[in-house]
Structure 1
Amino acid sequence: MSTAVLVAILITVLAWASAFVVIRGVGQHLGGGELALGRLLVGTVLLSLLLTRRPWVRPNRREWLLIVVYGVAWFGAYNVTLNIAEHTLDAGTTAMIVNIGPILIALGAGVFLGEGIPKWLAIGAGVAFGGVVLIGLSSGFTGLGNTVGILWALASAVTYTIGVLCQKHVMRRIPSTQVTWLGCAIGTVVCLPFAGGLIAQVQAAPAPAVLGVIYLGAVPTALAFTTWGYALSRIPAGQLGVTTYVVPAIVIVLGFVAFGEIPVPLAIIGGIICLIGVALSRRRTGSRREPAVVTGSVAAEPGAPVGSGDHQDLSR
């Protein structure tokens, strides 16, 4: 593995981990929808600059339908639900819950795309579900607000799953940068009803909060998706996907440094069990390799292409 690839992976993982913490801080001044719109606006503008240097592939009708669902679910609904979740949950707990996304995607692909459900996938899903239950039980020690936050975080994982299952087909023919830009632009349009609130809240917000919105659009969205695609074009998808398992741990450390927050012990145990479940779901059965449905976990941020770089055929 080259130094450039290692640097790209490091940038991606740190950027996505930082997003959970920055959302936690900015969320004190902006609502869930308003923050999502601000972030997507910045991301769309910056990704547009990258897109000008790439060839445009015209989607067919079916691909347009999938792209719209992908953009609404992943960039629109995911960002809004994630932001709302972090109004009551600490960043580390949120990241651990969202990290079950790869299992939901693999299960969805097995049921709806005919890819089957291998033994280890079923075992991993059961283990991860047990971890989520423990995180849910931990909310009994911290109040109803956290229970609601857990439900919003689960909604984030579900909308992420829907987006990936749609993107899986689209990225077989259309370059990743184009698909990511389309998803980001569609998510922006979906969040436009929050425009009035965004303007008012940005005017009242302190400068660090506004800079936080810009950071979310520039670094975890535009930059991290670019470095992720670069790494994917140079190393196996499964090998790269494992690197995102460290995101929740980084989020917990950053959350403690920034806000003095740390998940309650039962939530940490539940999060570890979730990670074990995700790892088990990726095991091979005998000598046959499991279908590589997902290359990264959803502690990873939305929009990360799965498969390879823009110059190759991509699948999600």
Structure 2
Amino acid sequence: MLSKNLMLILVTALAPMLWGSTYLTTTLFLPEGRPLLSAVLRALPAGLLLLALSRRLPQGSWWWKSWVLGMLNIGAFFALLFVAAYRLPGGVAAIVGGIQPLLVALLASRVLQEKLTPTRLLSGMAGVFGVALIVLQSQARLDAVGLAAAAGGTLSMAAGTVLAKKWGQPPSRSGGPESPLATTAWQLVAGGASLAVLLFVFEGLPAVPLTTPNILGYLYLSLMGTAVAYFCWFRGLSRLPAGAAAFLGLLSPVVAIVLGWVVAGQSLGPWQLVGIVVVLASIIAGMKLKGSRNVTDKLRARRPELPAAQGR
């Protein structure tokens, strides 16, 4: 049982690790000043691919629920994410995103009645501090619009995470719970289609053809950073407590700073290394993987409920 739970956590952790490459991919491969285009080309193709694989459409209330979740987790989040990515260094946006575990823990305690323990609160604050150590050692510029976008994206994703957990997994036509592949597809299509409308209204199509690096960047973000990552994320969220799963998101800034050092030649000083250690420790403490069976016990307790209500 424990090995299966650890495998679930590791697969779920793949999502924020892939998300950590978004900023580097954006700055190195994508055209400048096109946040809505980048958001649409990241979300919509991935959603259509997963929809073709799942061959499932929403039923009843899940048409509007998918749109709400799609806007929170995909539409608003992607648009704000790319605004932040274009206007801020990846690390600065990451420190704002580092607040997400605290937001999710607070929201989950009110909406999902998940216990808000002192350990989780302290771990969340330690995570923010660790990300700050990573970021503040770099020569980062601050931009008010970029910071507001990063904060808005963090709040949107936190609300979407808790709401997805609250609504659970919809029933399928066969009587069991719908697959995470289908529900992920619905969110990506709903969010991507809404972003496409905003693209035509506010930004328009590109005046010059996309270059080969642009296309490769979009392919990577759509297939790996979105289709694969979000499937792993929502699958894990359907089985893990929301407050615990959110701590895995702290892996994103760690991956971002390591990729910046390895690929882009950015500096990585001793305080940043300390920050990485603090972040990793906060993830372990926040999920209670060491010295506690909290996550394992919750997984075992929730698993029988999955076919009826838990999921997504």
TM-score range, shorter chain: 0.7 to 0.9
Distance change >3 Å, CA 312–CA 256, structure 1 → 2: farther
Q: Could you list the runs of 5+ residues in structure 1 that have no partner in the other structure?
A: 295-305
Does the 8 A contact of 1:99 with 1:274 survive in 2? no
Q: State the match for 1:163 in structure 2.
A: 160
Q: State the match for 1:315 in structure 2.
A: 311
Q: 1:47-101: CA deviations, max 9, x gaps?
A: 122122x5x56243xx544432211111011111111111233334544542442
Q: State the match for 1:47 in structure 2.
A: 50
Counterpart mapping for 1:14-163 below 5 A: 15-52=18-55, 56=57, 58-60=59-61, 63-95=62-94, 97-131=96-130, 142-145=140-143, 148-163=145-160
Q: State the match for 2:169 in structure 1.
A: 172
How far apart are the structure 2 equivalents of 1:148 and 1:293? 40
Distance change >3 Å, CA 291–CA 186, structure 1 → 2: farther
Q: TM-score, normalised by structure 2?
A: 0.72
Query: Offset at 1:35?
Result: 0.8
Q: TM-score, normalised by structure 1?
A: 0.71
Q: Could you list the runs of 5+ residues in structure 2 that have no partner in the other structure?
A: 172-177
Query: Offset at 1:32?
Result: 1.4
Does the 8 A contact of 2:19 with 2:252 survive in 1? yes
Q: 1:140-192: CA deviations, max 9, x gaps?
A: x53333x6534432322211101111111333335222221111111122212
Computed over aligned residues only, the root mean square deviation of the Cα atoms, in angstroms, reads 4.3
Distance change >3 Å, CA 288–CA 11, structure 1 → 2: closer
Q: State the match for 2:190 in structure 1.
A: 186
Q: 1:191-235: CA deviations, max 9, x gaps?
A: 12213735225x3442211221122112221233445677889xx
Query: Offset at 1:36?
Result: 0.3
How far apart are the structure 2 equivalents of 1:110 and 1:51? 33
How far apart are the structure 2 equivalents of 1:81 and 1:70? 16
How far apart are the structure 2 equivalents of 1:96 and 1:292? 31
Q: How many residues align?
A: 293
In structure 2, what residue type is equivalent to 1:315?
Answer: G
Distance change >3 Å, CA 171–CA 257, structure 1 → 2: same
Q: State the match for 2:223 in structure 1.
A: 218
How far apart are the structure 2 equivalents of 1:292 and 1:35? 41
Distance change >3 Å, CA 50–CA 292, structure 1 → 2: farther
Identity of aligned residues (%): 23
How far apart are the structure 2 equivalents of 1:24 and 1:231? 29
Does the 8 A contact of 2:69 with 2:160 survive in 1? yes
Distance change >3 Å, CA 27–CA 270, structure 1 → 2: farther
